[in-house]
Amino acid sequence: MKEIATFGAGCFWGVEETFGKVPGVISTSVGYTGGHIENVGYKQVCSGNTGHAESVRVEFDPSVVSFDQLLNVFWKTHNPTTKDRQGPDFGSQYRSVIFYHSPDQKAAAEKSKEELEKSGEFANPIVTEIIPAPEFYRAEDYHQKYFAKKRGA
């Protein structure tokens, strides 16, 4: 059995690499989701006018890694308190967002966010969106496993 999780946490290259190293993750792919334009590409998304976020789709085996464990990776992978910005990258395409695929994922994401807010780990409020997973548009091949390709060059 496998499940899907989708996260936006800034530039998708590093996020994909991080999730790809998690035991129980079967596969990852990068793409665009959450916007209002179909069959979108990188240049369109970079314009900031599509509503899409750079995202990572994670296929995982829940008997090995739980969605809650993936949420923990998500929170540690980026700064969830900066709206539309991660490091040097800024724009709505770099926003912090959890795209849930089921009511259970929604509940887990909301609980996780609430617990993190209460923990005091961050001085600023968490701005991460938690929204239903819409259509996922796979990014161009050169973006897939980008860092692994660069190391192999």
> 99 with 81: CB under 8 angstroms?
no
| Domain presence at residue 153 | no
| Domain presence at residue 79 | yes
Please give the backbone phi and psi of residue 84, each rounded to the nearest 5 degrees, phi first.
55, 35
What's the whole-number mean pLDDT along residues 31-51?
95
| Domain presence at residue 84 | yes
Helix axes 67-77, 103-119, angle to 10 degrees: 50
| Domain presence at residue 151 | no
| Domain presence at residue 27 | yes
Contacts of 127 (CB under 8 A, 6+ apart): 80, 81, 82, 83, 95, 96
Q: What is the residue-averaged pLDDT of the chain?
A: 95
CATH code of 81's domain? 3.30.1060.10
Residue 147's pLDDT band, with cuts at 50, 70 and 90, is confident
Q: For the chain, give the percent of residues with pLDDT over 70.
A: 99
In this predicted structure, the answer to whether residue 153 has a pLDDT above a threshold of 60 is: no
Q: For the chain, give the percent of residues with pLDDT over 90.
A: 91
| Domain presence at residue 12 | yes
Domain holding 112, by residue range, is 3-146
List, by residue number, the catalytic residues.
Answer: 11
- Total count of domains within the chain: 1
For the whole prediction, is pTM greater than 0.75?
yes
| Domain presence at residue 152 | no
| Domain presence at residue 57 | yes
pLDDT at 1: 86
Taking the CA atoms of the chain, what radius of gyration do you get in angstroms?
Answer: 15
